Amino acid sequence: MTAIPEMAVAALGTVAFALLFGVPALYYPYCGFIGGIGWFVYSMLVKELSEPNAALFATIAVILISRTFAVRKHCPVTIFLVSGIFPLVPGALVYWTAYYIVTDNTALAAHTGFLALKVAVAIVLGIVLVFELPQGFFRFAAKKDRQASEKKGKTKR
């Protein structure tokens, strides 16, 4: 699969998860966009970097965009964060770890399990890094939204 179809599938999966997570329908396009971008960044970087490093940078992209949309749409960042991070979660690695344990292939189980742990830690580090940025860093999004609504208000008069 190439990057664009993978990005579209990740966006669709993110919207489906947002539906299950109880995100208001108004935010589905934003959640899909964030999940798609996160997967795109990951799929581009995993070719050059290790899986944990690619996951770290993709998570940073997801959280930056999530915080920007949260400020812009005046809603909790959790709406975008939980849904958008979904494609990056190392579920397949956890599955294969369990499979290798059941089939008594302990060397592969240890390798795959440790890789899953490294990806999970990279995701956590990416979230923590971006959440350490001050809220003022994301005020540019609110200003643009406010300016647009002020222009609309002036044209209606």
* Amino acid 110: pLDDT: 96
- Where the chain has pLDDT below 50, the residues are 157
Q: What is the CA radius of gyration of the chain?
A: 18
pTM of the predicted protein model: 0.82
Whether 114 is in a domain gets the answer: no
* Amino acid 114: pLDDT: 96
Q: How many domains does the chain have?
A: 1
**Short-list 61, 78, 91, 89, CA closest to 22:** 78
* Amino acid 96: pLDDT: 95
Burial label, 59 (beta-carbon count in 10 A; 0-12, 13-18, 19+): buried
How does DSSP classify residue 49? S
* Positive or negative: CA dihedral 102, 123, 9, 83: positive
Whether 149 is in a domain gets the answer: yes
Q: Which domain holds residue 19?
A: 3-89+126-156
* Amino acid 157: pLDDT: 46
* Amino acid 94: pLDDT: 94
Q: pLDDT tens, 127-140?
A: 999 888 777 777 77
- Tell me which residue has tokens 């939980």: 82
